[in-house]
Each structure stands twice: as C-alpha cells, then as structure tokens.
Structure 1
Amino acid sequence: MAGPKPSADKANSLLAAPQLAGVLAIVMVLHLVAREHFLLFHTLVELLRIIVLCGLFALAWHTRQWSDNHFLRIVGKAAIFIAGIEVFHTLAYRGIGLFGPDDGNLPTQLWVAFRSLEAFAFLLAALLAARAVRPGWLLAGYAAATAFFTGLIVTGLFPDAYLEPAGLTPFKINAEYVIAFTFGLAMLLLFARRGLFEPGVHWLIQASLVFNILATLAFTRYVSVYGLANEIGHYFLFISTYLIYRGILVTGLTTPYQLMFRDLKCHQEHLEELVEERTARLRQSEQLNNSFVTNSPAILIITDRDGRISLANPAFETLAGRPASEMTGKPPHEIIDAQIADAIERNNQTAIRAGKAVASTEAVTVEGQQRLFEAVHFPLFDEAGQISGTGAIATEVTEHRRLQTNYELMLQASMDALLLADEQGNFVQVNQAAVVLTGYTEPELLAMNLRDIDVSERNDAIGFRLERVSHDRSGRFESRWRSKDGEVRDVELSIQLFDGVVNNGFCAFVRDISQQRADLRRIEFLARYDALTKLPNRARFEELAQQRLKQAARNGLEGMLVYIDLDNFKDINDSLGHYMGDALLRELGQRLQALADPKRLFARSSGDEFIALLEVESGEASVATELARIQQAVLAPVTVNGHQLVTTVSVGVSLYPEDGQDFTTLYRNADTAMYAAKTDGRNTWRRFDRAMQEKASERQQLLAELRGALSRDEFSLHYQPQVSLIDRELIGAEALLRWHHPVLGQVSPARFVPIAEESGLIVEIGEWVLRQVCRQGRAWHEAGLPPITLAVNLSAIQFQHHDLPSTVARILDETGFDGRHLELELTESVLAGDEARVAQTIALLKHHHIRVAIDDFGTGYSSMAYLNRFAVDKLKIDQSFVREMDTDRNSASVVTAIIRLAHSLDLNVIAEGVETERQAQHLAQLDCDEAQGYHFGRPVPPKAFTALLQTLPEQC
C-alpha cells in the first residue's frame, strides 16, 4: 500500500505554495461572507465538504476491484453516509429550517451524528489500514450507524445538543471531546503504521486529523449558532477537508493510474497481437452499427467539420420530410426547418467547444405541434485527434415529459400523505408520505383497503362516508388510523372524487394531527384538573359539586362545603424553594384524594387553597368529625428531602341547605368563613353565619345605582395598549369599562360587571361601549392617526342576544367605523352553546370583516372541533396563567400548550396580564404573537391614548 516515491516536479507536490495561497484566499472570502451573511457562509463550507466527501466515496467505490489502499476504502465508503447526514444538517440549519422547528437543536444533533460517524471511520481505517475489509460489511455497518443516529433524532431519543438561550448542552460538549479523543487515537495508530503510506501522504493525513481535533474543540465553545467559535471551527474543518483531499483523493487517483499505465506498457506487445482479431470484430461491429443506425427509432445525424450532413438515419428523414440522399453534403439550414436547424447548429458548436458530449432538451414546432426532444451532441475526432465533425442522437420525449411533469407536480404539491383508491376503498396508488405515515411498504398498501387501517369507524360507516363523498364529490373528516407497528394516529382526511377512464375513484390527502390532538387533550386535562396534585381544579369541582347538590336536593341529604387555606405557605416557598412547596402540595393532594369517596369530593382551588364538598348528617358532631378527619390528613408532618414540613390550615365551612342551596352561594359563604378564620388567628375553622351577609346587601345597593349609571353618564372607557412581541410595536388596544360613582367613587369592574350580567343590564351597557369604541376609532382615523385594532369584550349574555349581528352592523353604519379594525372578544363558554346559532352569529359578524377572539382561553373548555368549526381569529391567554408562568409549572404548561394549539390551527395568540420584561421575553421565546399588560401600558383615557398614537410615527 506504500505510495510512489516523491517527485521532484513541483506540479506533483502534495502541498505547494500556490495551493496554500488558494486555501488562504478561500478562507478570507469565507470570512467576508460570514461577516455579512453567516447562513450563506455555513452553507458554502458545508457544501465544499459534501462535494469532497462524495468524491471520496466515488473514488473508493470505482477503484475497489484493483486498489490496495485499504485506508481509502474504509474512509471513502463512510464518506457518502457522512455527506448524507451533513446534507440534512445544512438544510436544517437555523435560518433554513426545512425540517421541524427553526432552532439550533436539530442541526446540532445532526452535527454530532455525522462527526461521530466520521471519527469512527478514521479510527476504523487506522486500525485496519493493513487489512482488506469486505465492502458489503463496511456499507452495512455505516448504513446501520447512520440509521441508528437518524432514528434516535427522529424519535426524539437523541439528547438535546443546543438549547435557547443557553447554547450548547453538556451532552454536545462532551460528545465533541469524545470525537476529539477518537481523532487523537486515530493519529497514534496511523503513526504506528506510517510505513504503509508514502511519507508526504502520511503527514498530510496527520495534519488533517490535527485540524479535525482543533475544529472539534472550537465547536465546544460557542453559545450562538452564529458565534465566532462556530465560524473558526468551520475554518479548521475546511482546512482539514482540504488536507485529506490532497493526501487521499489526489494521490488515490494518481497512483492507480501510474500503475495502470505501467501495466499497459507491459502488455503492449500482447495488444499488438490482438489487432488482427480486433479488426475482424470491428468489421462485425460496423455491420451491427449500420443496422443500428438504420433501424433505430432515435434520430441519428452526423455532420462534417464544415457542418454538412454526412449521415442521417430514417428517423431523421421522417423528421425532415425528405430522403437522406437529398440531404447528404448539405448544411441543415438548407434542408430542414430553421428552428430545428438552429438547434442542431447551436448544440454542435457547444459540443465542439467543450470537446466532449453535451446533452440538451429542445422544444421545436413540427407540423404546427410543439414537440420535445432530448438530444446528445458529441464531437468526432480523426486519427490525429482533431475534430472532424459532430454527431447527434435525439429522442422524442413529449408525452413522457408531460406525464412526468403532471405526476411530479401532484406529488410535490402535497406535503401530506396522498392515496388514490377505487370506489370500494382499495388503494391503487400512494406516495412516500403515505408509506411513512402508515409504516407499510408501497406494495403492502396497494394490497390493502381503507378499512384495513381505519379503526375509528365501523366498516359500514366508512362505506357511508365514501358514498357521501361520491355524492358531494368531496369531503373532509377526521379519523384514526393504525400503522403497521400498531400505533394509532389521529388523522385528517381531505377526499376528492376523480373521474377515471374506466372507473371513478378517490384522491385522499391525509394529515397526521396526533400532536394537535395530544395538545388538546393536555389542555382539556389542565382545564379540568390540577397538574401538580391531579385533583379536580376549581372549574371541574364546580361541575361535580352542582351535580351532587342536585342529588342531595332530590334525596333530602345535607352537606357542607369546606374551604381550606394553608397558613404561611409563602414562607415555605421563600425559605425552602418552590420545589419544596410543590412537594408539600402534592403530598397534601394525595392525602385528600385518599379521603375521597362518593360522599366526599376534593379539589385544589388555587395556589395553596383546597375545597371539599362532603355529605354530613344533621348536627354539629358530624361536621366536627368530618373536619377532624380533614385536619388530621393535612396537619400530619410531610418529609421532603430530609426536611420535615408542618403546616396549619384556616378552614371555612358553609352548610347545605342552611347556608345556601347552590354552589356559588355555598362557595362564597365558605370563602367568607375561611377569611374569618384567618382573621381570628388562623389554624382554626369557622362556620358561615348570617352576619356575613352584609356583602349581599351591598350588592343590592350597587345594582340600584348601576341601573341609572348610564343615564347619568357615569361610565367612561379606558384603552390599554396591545403590542406585537415581534417588534414591540403598538398594534391595538382593548377598551375597558370604568364606572365613577359620585358617592362610591371608582367602582371596580370586578364588582359591577357580574351584577350587570346577572341583571341583564350588560346588554344595554355593552351596546353603549361598542358605540363609543367605534366613534373613537372613527375619530382617530379622521385625525390621520395610524390604524389599530380595537378590542371589545362581549359577555355570554350579549352574544346570546338575538339581534347582536344587526346591532353591531347598525353601530358600524352609524359611526362609519371600518369593521376590519374591530375585534370582539368572546368567552370559551359561548362556543359550547347552540352550535348552529353560534356559527351563524359569528358568520354574520365576519361578514363585516370583524375579527373574533376567545378571551381568557384556558380557564374554561373548548374542543378543537369548536375552534375548527367557528371562524375564530385569535386566542387570548388568561392573565392568571401569564402572571404565574415563571413560578408555577402548571401555568407554564398551559401557556405553552395554548400557543402550540393556536399555531397548529393558524390562529394568533395574545397574552394578557404581562407585567414584567421577563414574562414578555418568555412569551416571545414561546412564539406568542401579541401581549397586553401593565408592562406595556396601563389603561388610559382616550385623550392620553390619542397622545400615545401620535408618537407612533416617531417610534417607527
């Protein structure tokens, strides 16, 4: 395997000054590119490596029969697999992001994969440099390693290598060190086997490994994928690749050819002896060639050095419309259509200039029809090596290209699985995406029926759906498919009926919506249950409590609602950390859940508060017994990581039916009693008494004042800014109602809005709010201020009002306000009503280009079907989740899930209650679109907001 002796000729030098200068020039150009456009720099560097790697593989493969360079064989056969992973790394790089989320993790994982494979290949080549290895075993091993890495990455089992904003993960850094160690070990082994290589080649390979190690170490230092360390690492990697190119590729080609020419010289005499035999064969070959030229359906033409036709076969005669005898000795322009003649002359000249065969595709008009030909033009050489003419072979591909183009367009237009089926649902054609989705091979799918993989419906129901599509010619529905590995996936099918030549069939585009479904199930769980304790949350508890209260009323049972608040829980969080506090809550939740039975219902109401609904017997003794059981469970010490936590509770109790006959009353009264227990020193319990009903009388007084507030002009509107989290620019405002009473002063909306809704006054007040907002929006427009979206809350009562669409339309007409700048916010509960009426109302509103948003999303319940069915534009994350997202994992999970669900449905997301820059940045990292809160601006009167709008041009 030793290479030839070094030549004194500088042209054959492995690494001369001009080559070094060329490398330096390329590095300088790449550096300039990196300063202006790092993504272009990265793509160029990776492309250079990929080209060289493919060249190494080609060399190793085509010389495998006669080359004894075992090092080249082992490294070369790995090159194509390294290049394959590196292609995906380049295409997944941040800024291109063709695969999955456009972040730095996926390309960094792919980087670790192909660099590990590359290091392993060099180590294996160093170990087996003196031994022959079967190519099949090498390819199988590299393919298995590539599949292993790819499988880990695709399935998410591959560890994270890069996280925003921290940068490289410990796994990535440690992996680079292992790769560097592997390259170092390969260096030592190669040095021990240096006698197998020509000295210059050996040291070039060693230098390449040194730069590989330097590149690997550089890639442990960057935080941003566009960082300087990342750039320097690519320079080292480029130099390493160039050195291995000089050391292996060039010498791997030169040495075999030198050996080949030496063998040719040795066999020259033998070849001369075969001349006569070959001459006889040439005569036979000439006869065959003449037969081929005459009978070939392809067009064949030969011209001399002056461009005159010297040979034309019958296919060309047919195209030209005259016999060859009339064309021989004449240039094409004299005997054939000018368009065809121009194409022949142009391509002949191209072949002459290139000195080799050139391929072309020509569209020409023959007898008034556009026809497409694929042609190869090649120069003909005489014995002196001079060009004596040209030849051309052309084949008509008009119909083939048309069919191929249509088919490719069909496949490329679909990012989803595409399946063609006959009228019975038997698959007749599928694309690769369908193979990936189902796990079945194409032949397996073509032997199957839709009913074989659909598991969500009975066979007769599937047949009914296909009949419905046949009638309507299209259909869209959701289903569940079982893949070959047994996994059941949620899918969405869009089916079109197509008319075949003999029979009709179905064209189905299928999209995997399993992740959307999982996100929805997660949201549904979080909307009903507490993620930390797994107890029902406040909303779910209310549903269950109302059911039990109805049963109690029917059966004449008594019960009590218990409100439990942990005393001084904040001290535990502050002193021991939120982890300890969460552990305490989790343990208390489990203890309370252990007490649950058909007569006892427990839930987590909020951070450190629990509620319970218990069935009790008449008398104080039964109440005391139940409370003692709860206190015994809660007050017992909790041990977490060696810390013994002890807490006390303040408990409020309201009895059914004595203290209330509905959940709302019982809950309010128990809450009042709990605060009384806290006021009395905590670590005790209090039962609600009638003296606590002063709030009820206050409500009646407030209702009386509210009835005349509109006529007394006591209402006003404030506007709170809504900003884009992409550029922090003002894009809208929410109109917020304010009530200033001459005696009570400023009354909180939390006090009077529920009363207005219960009394029905909200309809009249809401119409006033909408009219004022539209008037103000029109005034801002006439003043030349930048247009923004104005958001108005609609209560469920307003939305259910039969003439809401006509009222909104009338107000828009009266005020002249453009509906495109109006956004109406609905609560989740609205969507769960009469679906037909809700859909009709929203459609009538959308007719005026009004945007529709779901307010306080996450606190109620909305199925994905509702969001798909109704023309909703935006989801608004409730401020309770936003304010606690940095301290409460449950809230953070809800926020993340809502954003992912919204974007999967092409909806915008706005977060309310943003009070800190940290919250804003966190939301931006989660790809939340918009935000609203005190951090961006408090609600202000119209005059102050006008001043804010006037500053927008300066801000822009």
Structure 2
Amino acid sequence: MQDLALMRSSPAKPASFISPAQVGGLVLVIGLLHLTASYSYLLFHTLIEIVRIVVLGGIFVLAWHSRRWSDNNFLLVIGTGSIFVAALALLHTLSYKGLNLFPGYDANLPTQLWIAVRYLEATAFLFAALSIRRRSSPYALLAGYGLLAVLTAAAIFAGRFPDCYVAGSGLTAFKINSEFVIIGLFGASLAALLARREDFTPQFLQLIVAAILFGGLSGFAFTQYVGVFDYANQVGHYLLLVSTYCLYRAMLVTGIIAPFDLLFRSLKANEAQLEAKVAERTQALRETQALNTAFLDNSPAAIYLADAAGRYTLVNRAFERFFARPASEIVGRTPFELWPAETARALDHNNRTVRETGQARLTVECVGSGTESRFFDTARFPLVASSGAIVGTGGIATDVTERRLAEERYGVIVRTSMDAFALIDADARILEVNEACCALTGYPRERLLTESITDLEAARDAAEVRAIIARVEREGAARFESVLRREDGEQRDIEVSIQCLNHITEPRFFCFVRDITERKRTMARIDYLAHHDLLTGLPNKLCLQERFARLVKGGVGGSGKLALICLDLDNFKNINDTVGHVVGDNFLCAIAGRLSAMIGSQSLCRLGGDEFLLLHGELPDQEAVACFAARLLHEIALPVNIDGHELNETISIGLALFPDDGPDFDTLYKKADTAMFQAKAAGRNTFRFFDEAMHAAALERIALVSALRGALERQELRLHYQPQIDLGSGSLIGVEALLRWERADGRMTPPGMFIPLAEDSGLIVPIGNWVLHEACRQAVRWQRPGQAPLVVAVNLSAVQFHRPDLLDVISEALTRTGLPAHCLELELTESLLIGDTEGALETLRQLKALGVKLSIDDFGTGYSSLSYLKRFTVDKLKIDQSFVRSMDTEASNAALVRTIVQMAHNLGLRTIAEGVEYESVVGALRQLQCDEAQGYHFARPMPPAAFEAWRAAREASDAPARAAAAP
C-alpha cells in the first residue's frame, strides 16, 4: 500500500485518530439530531441518510479519479462500492414511511432496502480487507457492484425479496438474522484488517476499525425495534452516523489531505536539499580552489606556466624563492629576460621542444641564479586549449642538488664499506664495485665490470636472477641468501641485500653482499647440536617424532605393528658413582652403539640421562614385538669393557603400539613411558606393554580435571614468585610467576600434574588469563621509583599463544593494572614456535609491537628450531635446568650451555639459567658470561608476602655494601 506507506512516513501526523474537538462536535451534532427526532423522526432520518449518501458519493469520486495514480486497493474497493451503497440508501430514504413517494408500499419496502444497503456495505468492507495486497480492476468492481445492486433492488420492488418488517408485529426473523449475519461480516472484515495492519498507518487503521465497530454495533440496535420510529432504530442511526464520520475521516481526510500535505512537505524538503547541495558544491569549489592554491604555494617544487611566446604566466612561491623575486617581476617575462643567455637558451629550447612535439618531457637542468647554481629534475608538459591547439607549456622543477651531493657522499661510504657492494642494471650487468667486492670475489675491479652477476652466482641460473631483479624493481627491495663462486672456484655462502634506485633513464640496483659462510657453519653446528644428543651423536626426540610421522604417512602400522619403545638403564647411577662420569659417558656411548646396530640410528634417540627411545616399524605382530624386547634385554645385559672396567647393566622397557595404543606420537610416548615405569615397578630388567590396567590413572586424571575446573572460582590457585638475579651485578632484576594449586583440604597439587591437564582440557585459557592479570597487578606494587624496573616473567602456553584474542588479553591486563609493557616478559616454549612458522612470526611481531619482552623457555631440550631462531624477535633464551644443574660435573652439559650462550650473544640475545642450586654452578655460569640466573641457590618460589620479606632482607643486607661503594 504505497499511499499508506507514504502517510506512515509523515512525522507530522498526530498519534490519536480523532481530536477532542472533533468528538465534541460529533456529540453536538448528535444532540441536535436528537432534538430533530423529537420534533420529526422523518426529518431526523432523512438528514442522517443524506449525510451518509453525500459521504459515500465523495468516497466514490475520490477512489474513481485517483485510480490511475494510486495503488491503494482498499480505497478503490470501498470507493467503487460506495456509489451503489449510496444509491440503495437513497432509495431507502425516499421510500421511508411518511414521504409517500412510493404509494402502494408499506414500511416493509424501506426495511428491505435497508437490509440490501447493509449487506452490500458489509460485503464491500470484507472484500476490501481481503484484497488489500492485490490490484483490482476498477471497471470489474463497478460492474460487479452495479449488477448486485440492480438485481437486489429489482428483487425488492418485484416482491421477490424476503419480508423484513410486518406492521403490528415488527421485524421478521429474516431481518433480525440478517443483521447478525451483517455483524459477522463486519467482524470478519475487522479480523482481516488487523491481520494486515502493517499495511496501514496507525491513524488510518484506527479510523477504519472504529467505522467497522460502530457499523457492527448499529446492527444490534436495528434488531430491537418494533416500529420504524422506535428509539432502538434511532440509536442505530446514531451509531451509524458515528461509523460514517469515522469512514469520512479515514477516506476523505486521511486519503486526500494527508497525501497532499506529505507531497508539499516532500517538495519543500527537496527544495531545501537542493539548496543544501548547491551550497555544498559551492563550498567544495571554494575548497578545491583553496587546495589548488595551497598545493601550488606549498609545493617544494618550482611550478610555472608559460604561453606560446615563452612568457611566464604563472609561478608559485617556490619559483619566487629560487629567483629571489616576487611573481610580479617574473610573470610576463621570458627566460632571456631573467637568466644568463646560455641558461635561457637551454630553457627556451626545452619549452619549444615540448610545444612542437606535444609530448611531455623530463630533463635534468643546471640553472644558475646569481652566484649559485642548482640542479633540477624538470617535468615539462604542453598546455592544450579546448580546440586542441597547444597554447603554451607548464613545468614542475624539483631541486635535486642535495640528492646529487648525497649520492656523491654515499659513493664514498660505499667505496669504504666493509661489505661488498655492486651496482648493477636490469640485465644484471655489473656497473660499479667497491674494494670489499673485489676481495670477496677474488676478481680485480676491471674484470668485474665486464662480468654479470649471473657469472658469479652458483645457486641460481640466469633466469632466476632476472626474476629476482624484476621483483625488486616492482617491490623496491629484497634480502636473500645465495652462494658466490670466487675466481679460484671456491664457493662462499652470502647474504644479499638489494635495493632498486630509480635512475634518470633506467633502474639501477644497489647490492650489498655479506660473507656468511662461517656463520652458516656455526648455525649448522648449533642446529645439529640442538637436534642430536651431544654425547652419543644420536638424534633427539624431535627427529624421532618426525620419523614416526613419515612412517605413519607411508602406511607402516597398517597390517603389522609400529612399536614405540621406551627403555631406561636400571642402575646407571651406580656406574657413575663407582667408576666416574667419564667412564659412565663412554658406557652410554657403547649402549647407543649396540642399539644402533640393532635398529639403526635413525630409529633411535637419547632422551637424556640414561633413557632411550626406539621406533620399530617392521614387526608383524605383538609376539614379534615381545621377541624384539627380549632381544634388547639380552643384548644390553652383555658386559661392556670401558677403560679396563667390565660393566654390566640391565634395562627396563615400556612398549606402546600404533595404532592400538594411540593415534599419534605423543600419546604413544606417554603410554610407553607409563609402561616402562610399570616394568621398573615389576623388578626391572623386564618389559611391559601398555594395557588397560593403566585406566585407573586415566580416571584419576579425569577427577583431577573436574576439581581443577572449579579451582579458580574457589580461589584455590596461587602465584609464587622466584627471583631472577643479574650475574654481573648480583642485583634483583625480575621474578618468574609460578602457578600453585592449594586445594581446599590444604593439599598442594604439583604443577607438573595439573598444568598439562589444564592445557589438554582448555582450562589453561581462563587460568592463564588470571595468571597474567594477577602477575601484572602484583608487579605494579613492586615497582619502585628511581630504581630499575622489576620484570615479571609469565609462562605462556601453546594454547594461549595460538588463540586469536591473545593480544587483546595481554593489552587488557597491562591497561587494567597499569603495568608498563617493558616490565612484562612472556616465556614461550620452543615447541610452539615450530610448525606454523609464519603464523608464529606474525604473533611475535605483534607482541613486540606491544612492548613486552619475549623469552624462550627450556631452551635446548630437544625441540629447538634454531634454523628459525634468527627470525624470531625474542629477547632472551632460558637454558633448561637439566643442563644447568650438572654442568659443573658433566662436561657435555657445560659444552651445550657454552654453545647456547655464545649463540645467543651472537644473535644479540640475553640468557638466563634456571635450576641453579650451587655456588659452583654460579661461578661456572659467570665464566661462560651467562647474563642471568634463578634457582634454589638464590631463593625458592615464594608467595608475595614472603617475597617482599626476602627482598627487604636482601636490601638490608646489601645496604652497608652500597653505602661503602657510594662516593
């Protein structure tokens, strides 16, 4: 209903459908009519009916003449029917008792005509309500209503219509029942309208509903009178008058006045909008002019326009500044009137060339003004009139004097650079080199200037080199590693930084080359150490895990058994205690050799200490696995002669089978480890398969997870803080926040028991968030003005690291607590950085952008990804306590710690050793130049209050030393 929808949008319409003044007027009219009825009921009846006839006729006129432009189907249906309702009502009025216009007919005739009027009116309302959303044909409606009215009137005057009134008896049953049927039709119309009320404005709907209700109520009154002049008949006409008035308000006022009012207001709004657009565009034009003026006046480039005779017609302020004259002394003059003859001829020639060719031109010019000469990059362009004729030239001259001087200075820097430098073109031809480049390649400068980069490249062919140059030309710069072939044939690993320089005629490329051969050898060695056991040379756990993945991917374990075997020497400590660590280390190497001979070194790793892990993928069934385990027991139990000592040792073996015991490496390892401990518990020197008897441990795990779920709400979680000491100054520089779980009954659950469960169950997310906020809150309290900041280190699990809201959580913790970002250090495990390297890199970059510090926890435990370490923006490496605790007694651990410290320092990273328990270890760490340390030697992890007391006591004990050191 488009018209009604438009009316709904009008904000000026009142919420009520009839004002108090209109109600008062209606009451006054009814009162006057009542007085008229007292005087002459015939006059009363005639007046009311004439009013209804006029209103119905007006509705028809409105509906008929608006049918072409209005799609208000409700108005069309009601309006078309109104003319025939009015016609029957006119017959009813003229036939009323007392007028005597139809002699021979009694009071039954007007009553029959009345019932016909009521039926036609109720039918029109019902049809209009049901066809709101359809478009009816006006001519079909006119024909239908007309036919119905004519047939009904003909039946009445022919005596074929049922009697409705009998003199002396009153209303017939047909008449009374018809009134109730009509009331039902009005009720159905009302229900249909309310079901489609969203198609009407509230005011229109209220008026139509009121018209239907009062029309229906009048039907009850018209069932009660006996004589045509009865009071019930009079009340029915009053109700009918109110219904007619509501219909008048809905159709004539709401249907005509409101749309035209909306139309005029829409026109005014459009006019105001048009005026606003004109004002807006005028303002935009002013702003554009102002921007153009601002651009010209504030441009550092000298801009000018000149006519066909070479006279300047416009110059900007930069042009004025260079010439040291105002525009009034420049405009209207030619170059010959402003510059020396030689300069003027060159400028005029360039302008004339642009005018003659009609093509823009870029030139480099040396222009003198007084005693000073400047170099300009000048872009000239023709000025073309609307007719297409060239009427002058324009130019934008950029002062490049400083750039040329800078290029000269840069050339000096390049020539004296320690890194090799080469200037090349787009075809990779060498245009210039420095002395370092000659030294690196072994070629003299004269020879290099005849060569191409492809002649020196050993890792890429000519097509690949050209592709790199093309990419640099598009992107501006690149850095990559490659291999250089020297004159003597030696190949060197190099790192190349290449940058594109937009030269005047064609691109040039600056190449800085650094020899990284030794660095790569060092990194390869470190990477080997990180992936292999230093003592035995066996692969570490990560390598074995990768081999497991390859075997599973290759289909091993489908028909046969893929066994993960965990074995541990039963009494190795006795060997170390009796014959010493050197012999013990040699014994471990001998055991590793025996195992390698049995299964191959690629399927074997040393986990650390006296524990080994084997992977066997060629066993047909579990019996074969058991036979292999028995063979292991036998082979290892054979005596070994080490430096004159005949040593015997037994092992305990745990076995887990794929896929029976688990679908992945970690699951199998856990189950094999559990089975190994069962073998030790069974008396050692035996083997055990993982079985369902271990299900009890799983049940305990479930119970622990259930208790852990409510630990945070029950406030059972605590943070203890372990100090971190600077080994150089001995000062307190930070603390590590360590999570503790003190259950309601006072029992302490070890972190190693519940933290892995929290990570597996997802509880680490809310717990980790709480730890982060609590540690930051506590750290804020411990900051002291005038002293170095106290950094709090918080462990970040892999689950937290890979969550998309990690940055928001950390930012919120810092913001809420007020802790400066540089006072928060996040400890990351090596394992979470491998795999999705690019994703980890992006997360680390975003964390660094927040300003927090990053460290890698438990570094060197076998999950190292040193090939990527230089790409990770971390600040510190935390050396695992398994290397630190015995580094003063185990040479291999000391060597690994030394390697990690040297590697970290080469990469610009700090190191911290954890698990420091003895002063001898502190001394060894200082000798290795380790930066920081923490451990029981300094202090155990403590609650906040205990830490504050420890700190106060430490400061009190250090006070005399500080006082003595003060000047």
Query: Are positions 1:456 and 2:450 aligned together?
Result: no
What residue number does 1:702 align with? 704
Letter in 1 for 2:517: S
1:369 Cα deviation after fit: 9.2
Structure 1 residues 849 and 661, CA gap change in structure 2 (3 angstroms):
closer
Letter in 2 for 1:577: G
Segment drifting more, 445-454 vs 788-797: 445-454
Distance 2:700 2:488 in 1: 65
Letter in 2 for 1:425: A
Distance 2:816 2:859 in 1: 32
Q: CA RMSD of the aligned region, Å? A: 3.2
1:835 Cα deviation after fit: 4.3
Query: Are positions 1:772 and 2:774 aligned together?
Result: yes
Query: Are positions 1:416 and 2:397 aligned together?
Result: no
Distance 2:406 2:654 in 1: 79
Q: 2:594 aligns with which of 591, 595, 601?
A: 591
What residue number does 2:916 align with? 914
Query: Are positions 1:540 and 2:524 aligned together?
Result: no
Once the two structures are superposed, residues 835-888 of structure 1 have per-residue CA deviations (whole angstroms, 9 ceiling, x without a partner) of 454344333333321112222222355555643444322222222222343344
Equivalent positions of 1:604-619 (< 5 A) are 604-615=606-617
1:493 Cα deviation after fit: 1.8
Equivalent positions of 1:908-947 (< 5 A) are 908-947=910-949
What residue number does 2:36 align with? none
Letter in 1 for 2:722: Q
Distance 2:447 2:498 in 1: 21
What residue number does 1:580 align with? 583
Structure 1 residues 498 and 927, CA gap change in structure 2 (3 angstroms):
farther
Structure 1 residues 491 and 693, CA gap change in structure 2 (3 angstroms):
same
1:810 Cα deviation after fit: 1.5
Secondary structure of 2:816 counterpart:
helix
Equivalent positions of 1:190-269 (< 5 A) are none
Distance 2:454 2:505 in 1: 23
Structure 1 residues 646 and 785, CA gap change in structure 2 (3 angstroms):
same
1:606 Cα deviation after fit: 1.9
What residue number does 1:895 align with? 897
1:421 Cα deviation after fit: 2.9
Segment drifting more, 452-461 vs 796-805: 452-461
Distance 1:635 1:451 in 2: 60
Query: Are positions 1:849 and 2:851 aligned together?
Result: yes
Distance 1:415 1:792 in 2: 42
What residue number does 2:762 align with? 760
TM-score (norm 1): 0.54
Once the two structures are superposed, residues 175-233 of structure 1 have per-residue CA deviations (whole angstroms, 9 ceiling, x without a partner) of xxxxxxxxxxxxxxxxxxxxxxxxxxxxxxxxxxxxxxxxxxxxxxxxxxxxxxxxxxx
What residue number does 2:472 align with? 469
How many pairs align?
A: 558
Structure 1 residues 773 and 869, CA gap change in structure 2 (3 angstroms):
same
Structure 1 residues 803 and 487, CA gap change in structure 2 (3 angstroms):
same
1:690 Cα deviation after fit: 3.2
1:672 Cα deviation after fit: 3.0
Distance 1:826 1:457 in 2: 37
What residue number does 2:678 align with? 676
Structure 1 residues 634 and 946, CA gap change in structure 2 (3 angstroms):
same
1:677 Cα deviation after fit: 3.1
What residue number does 1:241 align with? none
Secondary structure of 2:908 counterpart:
coil
Equivalent positions of 1:43-122 (< 5 A) are none
What residue number does 2:525 align with? 522
Distance 1:466 1:618 in 2: 56
Distance 2:453 2:530 in 1: 35
Q: 2:876 aligns with which of 874, 877, 900?
A: 874
1:758 Cα deviation after fit: 0.3
Structure 1 residues 515 and 891, CA gap change in structure 2 (3 angstroms):
farther
Segment drifting more, 712-721 vs 466-475: 466-475
1:781 Cα deviation after fit: 3.0
Letter in 2 for 1:896: R
Query: Are positions 1:858 and 2:860 aligned together?
Result: yes
Letter in 1 for 2:572: F
Distance 2:904 2:770 in 1: 31
1:591 Cα deviation after fit: 2.0
Distance 1:532 1:906 in 2: 28
Query: Are positions 1:531 and 2:534 aligned together?
Result: yes
Secondary structure of 2:850 counterpart:
coil
Contact 1:480 1:491 in 2 (8 A): yes
Query: Are positions 1:809 and 2:811 aligned together?
Result: yes
Segment drifting more, 609-618 vs 763-772: 609-618
Query: Are positions 1:716 and 2:718 aligned together?
Result: yes
Query: Are positions 1:649 and 2:661 aligned together?
Result: no
Equivalent positions of 1:731-810 (< 5 A) are 731-743=733-745, 745-781=747-783, 786-810=788-812
Secondary structure of 1:914 counterpart:
coil
Q: Report percent identity of matched pairs.
A: 44
Distance 1:799 1:556 in 2: 39
Structure 2, unaligned stretches of length 5 or more? Answer: 1-369, 374-404, 963-967
Equivalent positions of 1:158-177 (< 5 A) are none
Distance 2:664 2:833 in 1: 25
Equivalent positions of 1:484-563 (< 5 A) are 484-498=487-501, 504-549=507-552, 555-563=558-566
1:941 Cα deviation after fit: 1.4
1:494 Cα deviation after fit: 2.0
1:712 Cα deviation after fit: 0.4
Distance 2:618 2:821 in 1: 56
Contact 1:519 1:897 in 2 (8 A): no
Name which one, 1 or 2, has greater alpha-carbon Rg: 2
Q: 2:604 aligns with which of 602, 605, 618?
A: 602
Secondary structure of 1:555 counterpart:
coil
Distance 1:732 1:911 in 2: 13
Distance 1:744 1:664 in 2: 33
Equivalent positions of 1:389-404 (< 5 A) are none
Distance 1:537 1:572 in 2: 24
What residue number does 1:177 align with? none
Contact 2:530 2:864 in 1 (8 A): no
What residue number does 1:95 align with? none
Distance 1:473 1:465 in 2: 11
Structure 1 residues 536 and 811, CA gap change in structure 2 (3 angstroms):
same
What residue number does 1:633 align with? 635
1:827 Cα deviation after fit: 1.9
Query: Are positions 1:566 and 2:569 aligned together?
Result: yes
Distance 2:438 2:465 in 1: 21
Structure 1 residues 403 and 703, CA gap change in structure 2 (3 angstroms):
closer
Secondary structure of 2:603 counterpart:
strand
Distance 1:831 1:847 in 2: 18
1:779 Cα deviation after fit: 1.8
Contact 1:476 1:492 in 2 (8 A): yes
Letter in 1 for 2:752: A
Letter in 2 for 1:686: R
Structure 1 residues 586 and 617, CA gap change in structure 2 (3 angstroms):
closer
Structure 1 residues 460 and 935, CA gap change in structure 2 (3 angstroms):
farther
Distance 2:680 2:864 in 1: 37
Structure 1 residues 472 and 777, CA gap change in structure 2 (3 angstroms):
same
Structure 1 residues 848 and 759, CA gap change in structure 2 (3 angstroms):
same
Contact 2:780 2:819 in 1 (8 A): yes
Structure 1 residues 418 and 922, CA gap change in structure 2 (3 angstroms):
farther
Distance 1:517 1:904 in 2: 12
Contact 2:719 2:738 in 1 (8 A): yes
Q: 2:830 aligns with which of 828, 831, 834?
A: 828
